[in-house]
């Protein structure tokens, strides 16, 4: 019996027979969350209706030779699953692997409830910009909360690099804040809520499709550089907060300071590349 045959509909039908075109509606029980160049991400359930999961589906690519396409799909699904399993074993907070089928092209992982760090920063920074002169005390308290959030980002990335894994696509959209309590609808919408409460929770890393296992300081420095550029492009008013990420990262594991020194070289190369075009 294959893994797919024991799953409830629509998993027990061939996902690979479906076109990757977004114009085709997925089965009702599959909720498309996002679509990338290589994969589609759905929210659905696994085995039982009360087990939510994230389903990453890699459709067959008609422009590739079928044998090569099947080989690449298998390699990428297995690589991502192995990284996630290792992270869980080493204590890094990531979604748990629930199941996979490389022939059908899917990987099912635990669904992480919460908000992306990007959504949190967008909501909180917008809220602080709206505070008037009477809101200085709130601003001070909120900044402490934001710095606390950045500390957790630094520790999470440091722990990942300590065990020899580079994420490959570190952005504020791939960092999830899993709250210690269930958020109210208004908090989910605004990511404001009560200062000191809605930014409390665990930092969970998601989307390891480009992750690799490596001990190279250069690779880790590039990982940090990608995250730094993400902060600068999506939250320019919060660039100062990124210093807190690097401060905590530098204290997170033996060898982190070497990576931070290498980050300076990566930044210099990035600036030269931008100047040259």
Q: Which candidate in 169, 207, 219, 223 is catalytic?
A: 169
Q: Comparing C-alpha atoms, which of 49, 165, 46 is closest to residue 101?
A: 46
Active site residue 265: no
- Using only the alpha carbons of the chain, give its radius of gyration: 20
How many helices and strands, by DSSP H and E, does the chain display? 7, 10
Dihedral of CA atoms 52, 20, 40, 103 in degrees, nearest 10, equals 70
CA distances from 166 to 145, 162, 190, 256 (A): 27, 10, 31, 13
Beta pairing class for 97-101 and 106-110 = antiparallel
DSSP letter assigned to residue 26: P
Catalytic residue annotation: 169
């Amino acid at each position: 019996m294959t893994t797919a045959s024991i799953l409830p509909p629509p998993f027990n039908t061939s996902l690979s027979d479906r076109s990757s075109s977004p114009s085709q509606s997925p089965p009702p029980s599959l909720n498309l969350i996002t679509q990338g160049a290589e994969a589609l991400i759905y929210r659905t359930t696994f085995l039982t209706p009360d087990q939510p999961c994230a389903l990453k589906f890699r459709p067959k690519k008609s422009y590739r030779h079928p044998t090569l396409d099947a080989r690449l799909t298998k390699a990428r699904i297995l690589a991502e699953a192995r990284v996630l399993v290792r992270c869980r074993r080493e204590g890094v907070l990531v979604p748990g692997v629930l199941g996979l089928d490389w022939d059908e092209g899917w990987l099912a992982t635990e669904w992480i409830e919460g908000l992306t760090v990007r959504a949190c920063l967008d909501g909180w920074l917008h809220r602080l910009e709206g505070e008037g002169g009477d809101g200085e005390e709130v601003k001070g308290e909120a900044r402490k909360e934001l710095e606390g959030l950045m500390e957790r980002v630094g520790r999470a990335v440091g722990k990942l690099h300590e065990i020899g894994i580079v994420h490959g696509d570190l952005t504020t959209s791939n960092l999830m804040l899993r709250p210690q309590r269930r958020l109210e609808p208004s908090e989910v919408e605004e990511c404001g809520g009560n200062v000191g409460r809605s930014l409390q929770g665990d930092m969970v890393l998601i989307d390891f499709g480009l992750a690799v296992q490596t001990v190279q300081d250069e690779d880790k420095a590039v990982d940090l550089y990608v995250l730094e550029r993400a902060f600068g492009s999506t939250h320019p008013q919060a660039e100062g907060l990124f210093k807190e990420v690097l401060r905590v990262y530098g204290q997170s594991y033996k060898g982190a300071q070497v990576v931070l020194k290498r980050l300076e070289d990566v930044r210099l190369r990035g600036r030269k590349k931008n100047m040259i075009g």
